[in-house]
C-alpha cells in the first residue's frame, strides 16, 4: 500500500507569493541603481507595485495616438502618501529626438520646482539647487565605473577629513587617506584619531547602502558606528548627564528629556517631508539634532551624516563642510539653536556649490551671490 506524503494535520499551508509580485519586487530592486531605466520607473509608478517603489518622484515620456496623430507628453509623478499625483505636459506631435525630450524634461522639472513656495528657500535658490543637483548627476553618470569609484573615494575621503577636523581631529587630509584607504597608521597620532577616521568612513558606507528612512534606531546605529572602539560604554546610547561646549554659553536639554526629544524630531521629520524642500528638511533636521545634543560625543558628526543621508534619499549630492569654514559654520548652527534656520540653510547651499566647483563638476563663476 502506498502512502501520500503531505502536511501534518492542522498545519498551515505556506502562503505562496504570486509570481507577479515576485517579478515586481525583482524589478523594483533594480530601479535603485543610479543608471535606472525610465521604462521601469514608468511601469512601477503606474502599476499596483507603486508601494514597492523606492522613489518619491519621477518623470517620463509618454506617446498617445489620437485620430491617427502621434502625440507626445511628459508625465511627472510625485508620491503623496500612498498615492501618486500626476501632472502632464503636451510637447508636440510626431517623433521627437531623445536629446530634445531630455531638454524638455529639464525645463518641465524646473517649472514644477519653481512653481512651489517654500518656507526658507527663494525661487532663485530652488532653481540654483536644482541646477547643481542635475549637474552633479549628469557629470557622475557619464563616468565609467572605475572613474566613479575614484571620484567617490576622493570626495568622501575629503568629507571624512573635514568632518573630523571640525571636531578637533589632528589628522591631515593625506593622513586621513592613508588610514581609510591604505590601512596605514601615521606616526604621532592617537588611536582615537585613527578610529575616528575609520569609523566615519564606515558610517558613510553604511548610509550609502541603507534603504530605510530616518528613525530612532538608525540614529542610534549610526552613533554606535561613530564611537566604535573609541567609547563602547556610550556608543549607540543617549547621554545620561549634562553636556557643555567649551567656550560657549549654549545650554542643552536635560538628559532625561533626550529620548523623547529625538522621537519628537523623527516625528517632525516624517510629518514635514512633503512640506519642506528636501534641502531645507535635511539642514533643519541636522540643526535640530545638534540642538538636542543627544550623545556624550559625536553629535556634530552624526548631525552632518544624517543631513547628507536625507539629501541622498532625495537625490542630492552630499555636502562637505570644510574645516576652514568652521567658525562660519558654528555661527550658523548657533543661530539654528535659537530656531533661526535661514543662515545655516544659506551656508549649506553655498558650501554645496563650492564642493562641486572644487571637483570641477560645475564651472566656477566668480562669487556665489546667486545661491544666497
CATH number at residue 203: 1.10.3290.10
CA-to-CA distance for 86 and 58, rounded, in angstroms?
10
Which helix (H) or strand (E) is 142 found in, with range? none
Buried (b) or exposed (e) across 284-302, using 16+ Cβ within 10 A? bbbbbbbbbbbbbbbbbbb
Task: Find out whether 350 and 358 touch, Cβ atoms under 8 Å.
Answer: no
| Percentage, residues of the chain above pLDDT 90 | 69
Tell the residue number behind the cell numbers 539647487, with chain if given: 129
Which of 72, 92, 115 terminates a domain? The answer is: 115
pLDDT digits (tens, 9 = 90+) for 17-43: 444 444 444 444 444 443 445 555 555
280 and 194 within one domain: yes
262 vs 268: CA distance, rounded Å = 10
Cβ-based neighbours of 302, under 8 Å, separated by 6 or more: 219, 222, 223, 226, 289, 295
What pLDDT digit, counting tens, does each position of 101-155 carry?
988 998 888 888 778 889 999 999 999 999 999 999 999 999 999 999 999 999 9
Cell of 341: 534656520
- Which residue, chain included where needed, has cell 536625507? 310
pLDDT band for position 3 (50/70/90)? very low
144 or 245, which is more confident? Answer: 144
CA 89 to chain centre: 29
Which residue pairs from 209-215 have beta carbons closer than 8 angstroms and sit at least 24 positions apart in sequence?
210/309, 211/32, 211/54, 213/270, 213/313, 214/266, 214/269, 214/285, 214/306, 214/309, 214/310, 215/266
Domain count, the chain: 3
How confident is the model over 172-179, as a mean pLDDT?
A: 98
- The C-alpha atoms of residue 265 and residue 267 are separated, in whole angstroms, by 5
Average the pLDDT over 63-91 and give the result. 86
Q: How many Å apart are CA 113 and CA 96, to the nearest integer?
A: 24
Cα distance between residue 23 and residue 120, in whole Å: 42
Residue 329 lies in a domain: yes
Within this chain, do residues 25 and 78 fall inside the same structural domain, yes or no?
A: no
Residue 2 lies in a domain: no
Question: Residue 343 pLDDT > 60, yes or no?
Answer: yes
Mean pLDDT (the chain) is 86
Residue at 65 is within a domain: yes
Query: Is residue 288 situated within a structural domain?
Result: yes
Whether residue 148 sits in one domain with residue 97: no
Cβ distance 129 to 356 under 8 Å? no
How far, in Å, CA of 147 to CA of 218, rounded? 31
Confidence band for 2, pLDDT divided at 50, 70 and 90: very low
User: Of 98, 115, 132, which one is at a domain's C-terminal end?
Assistant: 115
**Residues 22 and 147 placed together within one structural domain of the fold:** no
Residue 8 falls within a domain, yes or no? Answer: no
**Domain match, 249 and 165 both:** yes
11: in domain: no
User: Lowest-pLDDT range, 70-84, 169-183, 255-269?
Assistant: 70-84
Question: Which DSSP letter does residue 12 get?
Answer: P
Q: Output the pLDDT for position 56.
A: 66
Looking at the fold, whether 61 and 37 belong to one and the same domain comes out as no
pTM passes above 0.85: no
Asked whether residue 5 is domain-assigned, the answer is no
Q: Residue 244 — pLDDT band, cuts 50, 70, 90?
A: confident
What percentage of residues in the chain have a pLDDT greater than 70?
81
Same domain, 319 and 235: yes
Instruction: Give the pLDDT of residue 54.
Output: 55
Report the pLDDT averaged over residues 216-231: 98
Reply yes or no on whether the pLDDT at 368 is more than 60: no
Q: What is the mean pLDDT of residues 193-201?
A: 98
Q: Which three cell numbers stand for residue 118?
A: 517654500
- CA distances 116 to 52, 276, 277, Å, are 27, 10, 9
Domain end (from 95, 115, 135):
115
303 & 268 share domain: yes
Same domain, residue pair 72 and 41 = no
The catalytic residues are: 293
198 and 254 in a single domain? The answer is: yes
Q: Which helix (H) or strand (E) holds 316?
A: none
Domain of residue 48 covers 17-55
Region 308-337 average pLDDT: 97
Residue 267 domain-assigned? yes
Residues 166 and 257 in one domain: yes
User: Are residue 153 and residue 48 in the same domain, yes or no?
Assistant: no
Amino acid at each position: 500500500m502506498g502512502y501520500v506524503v503531505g502536511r501534518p494535520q492542522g498545519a498551515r499551508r505556506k502562503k505562496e507569493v504570486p509570481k507577479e509580485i515576485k517579478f515586481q519586487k525583482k524589478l523594483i530592486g533594480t530601479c535603485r541603481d543610479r543608471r535606472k531605466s525610465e521604462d521601469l520607473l514608468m511601469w512601477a509608478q503606474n502599476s499596483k507595485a507603486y508601494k514597492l517603489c523606492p522613489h518619491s518622484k519621477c518623470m517620463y515620456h509618454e506617446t498617445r495616438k489620437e485620430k491617427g496623430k502621434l502625440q507626445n507628453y511628459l508625465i511627472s509623478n510625485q508620491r503623496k502618501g500612498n498615492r501618486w499625483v500626476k501632472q502632464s505636459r503636451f510637447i508636440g506631435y510626431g517623433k521627437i529626438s531623445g536629446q530634445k525630450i531630455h531638454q524638455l524634461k529639464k525645463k518641465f522639472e524646473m517649472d514644477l520646482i519653481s512653481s512651489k513656495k517654500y518656507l526658507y528657500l527663494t525661487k532663485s535658490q530652488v532653481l540654483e539647487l536644482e541646477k547643481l543637483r542635475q549637474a552633479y548627476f549628469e557629470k557622475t553618470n557619464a563616468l565609467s565605473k572605475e572613474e566613479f569609484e575614484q571620484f567617490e573615494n576622493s570626495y568622501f575621503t575629503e568629507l571624512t577629513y573635514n568632518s573630523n577636523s571640525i571636531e578637533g581631529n589632528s589628522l591631515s587630509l593625506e593622513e586621513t587617506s592613508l588610514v581609510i584607504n591604505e590601512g596605514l597608521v601615521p606616526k604621532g597620532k592617537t588611536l582615537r584619531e585613527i578610529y575616528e577616521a575609520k569609523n566615519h568612513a564606515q558610517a558613510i558606507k553604511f548610509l550609502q547602502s541603507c534603504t530605510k528612512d530616518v528613525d530612532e534606531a538608525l540614529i542610534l546605529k549610526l552613533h554606535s558606528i561613530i564611537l566604535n572602539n573609541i567609547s563602547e560604554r556610550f556608543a549607540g546610547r543617549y547621554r545620561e548627564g549634562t553636556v557643555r561646549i567649551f567656550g560657549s554659553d549654549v545650554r542643552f536639554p536635560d538628559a532625561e528629556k533626550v529620548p523623547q526629544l529625538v522621537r519628537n524630531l523623527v516625528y517632525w521629520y516624517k510629518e514635514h517631508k512633503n512640506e519642506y524642500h528636501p534641502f531645507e528638511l535635511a539642514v533643519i533636521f541636522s540643526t535640530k539634532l545638534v540642538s538636542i545634543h543627544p550623545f556624550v560625543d559625536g553629535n556634530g558628526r552624526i548631525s552632518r551624516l544624517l543631513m547628507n543621508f536625507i539629501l541622498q534619499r532625495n537625490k542630492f549630492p552630499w555636502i562637505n563642510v570644510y574645516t576652514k569654514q568652521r567658525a562660519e559654520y558654528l555661527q550658523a548652527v548657533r543661530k539654528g539653536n535659537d530656531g533661526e534656520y535661514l543662515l545655516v540653510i544659506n551656508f549649506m547651499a553655498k558650501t554645496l556649490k563650492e564642493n562641486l566647483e572644487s571637483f570641477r563638476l560645475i564651472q566656477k563663476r566668480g562669487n556665489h551671490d546667486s545661491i544666497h
